[in-house]
Amino acid sequence: SRKPNKILITFVVTEEWLGYICTDPKPEAIRLTTIPNVIPPERERAADFTGFYEAVMTKMEEPFERLLDQLEPTVNAIIGDVELRWPVTVANRRNIPVAAFWTTSASFYSMLHHLDVFSRTHQLTVDKL
């Protein structure tokens, strides 16, 4: 007989996003939980992307940390988007293992990682059509 799954994966989203995805069926090992809507609504983001980006970078850390205090069972690892710095800060502050994931292609990451080399060697030229 198979032992029950001991892994619980919690996705933290804003209350707005939970409204978009909560009706979709999910496995028992997946839990959706929320932080308050501290970033601009989805329909307004394009009008002020800079404001949206700043809010994501500065306003989500504190409610996320409060949520961690309430979750049962407690969190034993955090995986966050590489663009966000605050999940790493929170995890380090709490001595929780942390990993960042990259959501674009490996070739794009490699290009960014080696951008200094490209600019030094002038390999960033664009061919004329």
Taking only the tens place, the pLDDT of each residue in 17-64 is 999 988 888 898 999 999 999 999 988 888 899 999 999 999 999 999
Q: What is the CATH classification number for the domain harbouring 74? A: 3.40.50.2000
Which pair of tokens denotes residue 14?
A: 């804003």
104 or 122, higher pLDDT? 104
Number of domains within the chain? 1
pLDDT digits (tens, 9 = 90+) for 76-120: 999 999 889 999 999 999 999 999 988 888 888 888 888 888 777
Residue 39: predicted pLDDT: 93
Give the residue among 6, 11, 18 at the shortest CA–CA distance from 78. Answer: 11
CA–CA separation, 120 and 112 (whole Å) = 14
The parent domain of residue 76 ranges over 9-103
For residue 115, being part of any structural domain is answered with: no
**Quick check: is 59 in a domain?**
yes
Collect all residues with Cβ–Cβ distance below 8 Å to 11 and sequence separation of at least 6: 30, 31, 32, 33
Cβ distance 12 to 86 under 8 Å?
Answer: no
Query: How far apart are the C-alpha atoms of 90 and 80, rounded to whole Å?
Result: 11
Q: Is residue 4 part of a domain?
A: no
pTM above 0.85, yes or no: no
Alpha carbons 25 and 41: distance in angstroms, whole number: 24
E-only strand ranges, 1-129: 9-14, 30-35, 78-81, 98-101
